[in-house]
Amino acid sequence: MVTSGPNLKRFGITGDCYTTNQSNRLEKNLNYGGYEDVATIFDIAKQAGVSITTVSRALNGYSDVNEKTRRRVVEIAGKLNYYPSAAARSLQGKKTNTIAFAPILRESGEPDPFLKEFIGTMAISCLSHDLSLLVMVATSTQDNSETYRELAGSGRVDGIILADVEPQDHRVAILQELGIPFVAFGRTTDYASLAYPFVDVDGAAGIQELVNYLYEQGHRRIAYLSDPVNSSCVVYRHNGYREALIQHGLEENPQLSIGDLVHEQEIKTAVARLFELPFAEQPTAIVASHDRLALNVLYALRERGLSVGKGSGQIAVSGFDDLPFAAYLDPSLTTLRQPMGAICTILLEMLVAVLKNKSEVEPENQLPGLNWVGPQQVLLRPEFIVRASA
Amino acid sequence: MVTSGPNLKRFGITGDCYTTNQSNRLEKNLNYGGYEDVATIFDIAKQAGVSITTVSRALNGYSDVNEKTRRRVVEIAGKLNYYPSAAARSLQGKKTNTIAFAPILRESGEPDPFLKEFIGTMAISCLSHDLSLLVMVATSTQDNSETYRELAGSGRVDGIILADVEPQDHRVAILQELGIPFVAFGRTTDYASLAYPFVDVDGAAGIQELVNYLYEQGHRRIAYLSDPVNSSCVVYRHNGYREALIQHGLEENPQLSIGDLVHEQEIKTAVARLFELPFAEQPTAIVASHDRLALNVLYALRERGLSVGKGSGQIAVSGFDDLPFAAYLDPSLTTLRQPMGAICTILLEMLVAVLKNKSEVEPENQLPGLNWVGPQQVLLRPEFIVRASA
DNA sequence: CTTGACAACCAAAACGTTTTGGATAATAAT
DNA sequence: ATTATTATCCAAAACGTTTTGGTTGTCAAG
C-alpha cells in the first residue's frame, strides 16, 4: 500500500489518529498570504516594444492593430502567463462573467437537502453558459439587506439569481431600486405590479392535482403538514390544498392542517396529534409540503406501526420536490417534481437575456417544450409523480 | 386561488402551457444591461466636506480620524447606500473574502450526485466563515489549464480549493508555480515531495476495512466494480481492495475486477459478465467504488432476479460516499461515509490558515476530534456504515 | 504638389479604492 | 518663547485595465 508516507498525517474523525509533521518543508516552498508577481499588460508592452494601448487592443481583437504585431503580442502574453486582472477590468465597467446565486438557508437541524441540490445543479448548469457562479448563502432575507446591497454595489457580479423569495421580499425592492440585473426563483405577493422577471413552480396547481388524485382514490380526510411560512412557495402550496378541498365541497379542518414544522421531533408530535384523534376523524392521507417533511412523516408512521401505501387501511403520504432520495424511500414517495435542471437553465437564460438588455431569450437558447413569448415571468408546472406511497 | 394574474405566463414542461405577455411594462421599469449609478467614496467626501482619504480611513476604522467626523461619514455612507467597489479594492491588493471551489465534472449521463452534494455542502459551510464561494466547475483538469491560470491571475479570489485531484494533476503545479494559496481535496501521487496542503479521505483504508468485514462474513469471491481512473481516489480505493485480498491470501481475479464503468448500461453489462461465469466462480459480494455505481448494481441484480443482503445465497453489495440516498435504498446500502461536513470545514479552516500565512489552524477553529498538529496534509478515515445490503 | 483616406500606433484619462508621506493646528513640555 | 507631541486631516501615487481622441506616415487620387 502506498497511502502512507513519512510526511503524511492520518486523522480519523471516528477512528484512528496517527500523525507526522512536516510543516518546515511546507513553509519554505509556498509563498502564501499573497500571490507572486503576475504579469501585467505593461510587461507585455515592454517586451513587445509597443504601448499598453496596443497590447490591450491586440488582445481584444480590435482591427486597428497590425496582424504581425498582434501575433507577437499574443505570443508574449502566452509566454508570460498573462491574464488580465478581473478587478482592473471590472473597474472599467467590463462584464465579470460571474453571476451570484443568493438562496436562503432556513434554520433546520441538518443542512437543507433541497438547497444543496439547488446549488449543485445551478453550479453545474453554469458550465454550459461559461459563467462563474458566486454562491452567497444567507440565513435570512431580513438580517443582511447589507449583503445584497454590498453584492450589488461591489461590482463583483454582472447579475443575481435570487432564490427562496418571500411573500414580501425586500430584496426584490432593493435590487430594483439599485437597478441590478436579477432574476428570481419564486415570487413576491406583488409580482404583478413590481414586474420583475422570475421563474416559479406552480405549487398551488401541483398540490391541487395531487389532492384531486387522492380524492379520486377515495380519500376524504386529507391532512396537510407544512413547514413555516417563509418562502412564498409555502403559501401557494397551502392555498392549493385549501382550494382543492373547496372544489370537492370539503373544507380545511384545523385539526388536520398543521403548520410551522421544522425539526423531526415537531413532525413526530404532529403525526401523533393526528392519530390520537378519534378513529373516524383520523386522516387517511397526509400531504407534506416538501420531501424531507414527508420522509419524517414516513418514519413517524412506521414508528407508530402504521402502514403507508395505496392499499385499503394504509395511509397515503406525499411530498414535494422529488429530491433524489424520494424514489428510493420505502415505500417510494409519491411527489411533485420540481424540474431542477430546467429551472436552472431557464433562470440562467433569462438572466443572460436581461444582461444583454433583451426582453427575449435567444431562439437557439430556448429550452424546447416551453412557450418563450417573453422571458419575464415564467410559471412552471411541477410534474406529478405517482409512486408507491400514495 | 390567487396564483394567476393578468400578466402571468404559465408554462408546463410536461403539462399545460398558457401564457400572457407583459413585456412592455417590464421594459419600462427595469434599467438593465448595467447598474444604476452607485455612490462612490467621492460622493461621500463631497457631502461630508472631507477628503476621500478621510472617508476611506473613517470607514476602515483608522485612529487618525476624529470621532465626530467618523460618525458623520458613516451616516452619509449609510444614507447613500455606499458599498466599496470590490473591484477597486482588490486592485489595491485587498482581500476579496472570496474563495474559489474548483471541482471537476466527469462525463456521466446525469449530473454527478456526489459533486452536487459537495458543492452544496461547501457553499453552506462558507456561511460560517463569512466567505463567498466562487464555484468554477470544469469538465477536465487538462483542457483548461487556462481556467486555473485565469482564476489565479485575475485576482477575483483570495485562494482556491481544488477538488477531484488526479494522480498527476498539473493544476497543483500551476498553483504552486504561481504562488496562489490553495488547498486540495485529494492528492497527487507525488504529494510527499510537492508538499502542498490537502485533505483526503483514506479510501484504501476504508475499502480494506470493508473487505475484511466481507471476508469475516464468509465471502471469498469478492468482485470489485470501479469507475474510470481519473481522480486519485479511484486508484487508492482499488489499491485498498487489492491489498485486503492479499492480506487474506487471496489475489485479485481479473474476471471479478471490472473498471472503467460510467453509464448504467456498462454497469449492467459488467454485472451480466459476473453472473454468466460458472456458478462456482460467481462473486458472492460486489464492492462498488462509489454509491451511484452501487445503486446501478443493485438495479442490475434485481433485474436478474438476484437477491441482495446479508443472508446466505444473497449477494452482498457495498458502495462508497454515503450519499443521502444510500440510507433509503432497498435494501439500504452498506457503505463508507465521506464526512462531507467535516471535509468542507477542514478545507476551509486550512485555507483560511494559509491565507493568514499561518501553518496552524487557530485553536478555536479546530474541529474537535482531530489532531491539529499542522494543517498541511490531512487524511481522514471514512466511516464504515453497515446497513442491510452487506 | 496637394489633398484625402487609411493603416498603425499611442498618450492620457478614467474607473474607485488604499496607502504613503506629509501638512496644519492645537496642546504640552521645556 | 520655543520645541516637541499629538490629533486631524489631505494631496498624490498606485493598482491594471479600457477607451477616447488623437498623431504619424504611407499611398492613391486629383
- What percent of chain A is modeled with pLDDT above 90? 68
Instruction: Please give the biggest Cα pair distance in chain A.
Output: 91
Name the grid cell of A363: 431562439
Q: pLDDT value at position A22?
A: 27
Q: Which of A34, A197, A324 sits opposite B325 (nearest CB)?
A: A324
Q: pLDDT value at position B61?
A: 93
Nucleotide nearest to B39 (CA to C1'): C16
CB contact at 8 A, A102 and A185: no
Nucleotide nearest to A45 (CA to C1'): C10
Q: How far is CA B114 from CA B108, B288, B293, B311, B320, in A?
A: 12, 15, 11, 30, 10
Residue in chain B lying closest to A87 (CA): B87
Instruction: Find chain B residues with C-beta within 8 A of A139's C-beta.
Output: 127
pLDDT tens digits, residue range A108-163? Answer: 778 899 999 999 999 999 999 989 999 999 888 766 667 777 787 778 899 999 99
Name the grid cell of A36: 507572486
What is the residue-averaged pLDDT of chain A? Answer: 86
Q: pLDDT value at position A15?
A: 31
Q: In angstroms, how far is C28 C1' from B78 CA?
A: 38
Q: How far is CA A136 from CA A71, A156, B123, in A?
A: 40, 12, 7
Q: Is A249 left (phi over 0), alpha (psi -120 to 50) or beta?
A: left
Band of pLDDT at residue A365, cut at 50, 70 and 90: low
Band of pLDDT at residue A357, cut at 50, 70 and 90: confident
pLDDT tens for chain B, 390 residues long, are: 223 333 344 443 433 322 223 222 222 223 333 445 689 999 999 999 999 999 999 999 999 999 999 999 999 999 998 989 989 999 998 888 899 999 999 887 788 999 999 999 999 999 999 899 999 998 887 656 677 777 877 788 999 999 999 999 988 988 887 788 999 999 999 988 888 999 999 999 999 999 999 999 999 999 999 999 999 999 999 999 999 999 999 999 999 999 999 999 999 999 999 999 999 999 999 999 999 999 999 999 999 999 999 999 999 999 999 999 999 998 999 999 999 999 999 999 999 988 887 555 666 666 565 544 444 789 999 999 999 999
Residue A331 C-alpha, separation from nearest chain B C-alpha, in angstroms: 9
Q: What is the mean pLDDT of residues A92-112?
A: 88
- Looking at chain B, how many residues does it have? 390
Q: What is the mean pLDDT of residues A47-74?
A: 96
Can you list the pairs that B255-258 forms with residues at least 24 positions away whose Cβ atoms lie under 8 Å? B255/B281, B256/B221, B256/B222, B256/B223, B256/B224, B256/B283, B257/B223, B257/B224, B257/B226, B258/B223, B258/B224, B258/B225, B258/B226
> Given an 8 Å threshold on Cβ–Cβ distance, is B374 in contact with A23?
yes
Instruction: Find chain A residues with C-beta within 8 A of B88's C-beta.
Output: 87, 91
Mean pLDDT lowest among A200-209, A226-235, B144-153, B252-261: B144-153
Chain A and chain B share a number of CB contacts under 8 A equal to 378
Nucleotide nearest to B68 (CA to C1'): D8
Q: In angstroms, how far is D26 C1' from A86 CA?
A: 38
Name the grid cell of A301: 408512521
Beta-sheet strands, E only, within chain B = 9-11, 98-102, 132-135, 159-162, 182-185, 198-201, 222-225, 257-258, 285-288, 316-318, 335-337, 377-380, 383-385
> CA A11 to CA B378: how far, in whole Å?
6
Instruction: Please give the biggest Cα pair distance in chain B.
Output: 91
| Angle value at C-alpha A63, between A59 and A64, nearest 5 degrees | 95
> Which residues contact residue B167 at a Cβ distance below 8 angstroms, ignoring those fewer than 6 apart?
B188, B189, B229, B232, B235
Q: Model's pTM, two decimal places?
A: 0.88
> Is residue B39 classed as helix, strand or coil in its secondary structure?
coil
pLDDT tens digits, residue range A262-296? Answer: 999 999 999 999 999 999 999 999 999 999 999 99
DSSP B302-359: HHTT--BSSSTTPBEEE-SB--GGGGGSSSPPBEEE--HHHHHHHHHHHHHHHHTT-S
My answer on whether omega of the bond before B331 falls inside 30° of 0, hence cis, is yes
Nucleotides of D under 7 A from a protein CB: 7-12, 14-22
- Selected residue of B16, B20, B112, B135 to mutate for chain A interface (largest A Cβ count, 10 A): B135
| DSSP structural state of residue B280 | G
Residue in chain B lying closest to A11 (CA): B380
Instruction: Find chain A residues with C-beta within 8 A of B243's C-beta.
Output: 1
- Closest to B375 measured CA to CA, from B228, B216, B199: B199
| DSSP structural state of residue B109 | S
Q: pLDDT value at position A21?
A: 30
> Given an 8 Å threshold on Cβ–Cβ distance, is A14 in contact with B383?
yes
> CA A163 to CA A338: how far, in whole Å?
14
Q: pLDDT value at position B81?
A: 87
Count of CB atoms situated within 10 Å of the CB of B12: 18
Residue A294 C-alpha, separation from nearest chain B C-alpha, in angstroms: 13
Instruction: Find chain A residues with C-beta within 8 A of B14's C-beta.
Output: 369, 381, 383
Residues B85-100 as b/e (b if ≥16 CB within 10 A, e otherwise) read bbbbbbbeeeebebbb
β-pair partners for A258: A225
- Closest to A169 measured CA to CA, from A187, A153, A151: A187
> Is residue A258 classed as helix, strand or coil in its secondary structure?
strand
Mean pLDDT lowest among A236-250, A312-326, B162-176: B162-176
| Angle value at C-alpha A33, between A28 and A39, nearest 5 degrees | 95
DSSP B24-35: HHHHHH---SSP
> Is residue A9 classed as helix, strand or coil in its secondary structure?
strand
Q: pLDDT value at position B7?
A: 38
- Note the helical H segments in chain A: 23-29, 41-48, 52-59, 67-79, 86-91, 113-127, 145-153, 170-178, 191-194, 203-216, 232-247, 264-275, 291-303, 340-355
Does the structure show a pLDDT above 70 at A259?
A: yes
pLDDT tens digits, residue range B208-220? Answer: 999 999 999 999 9
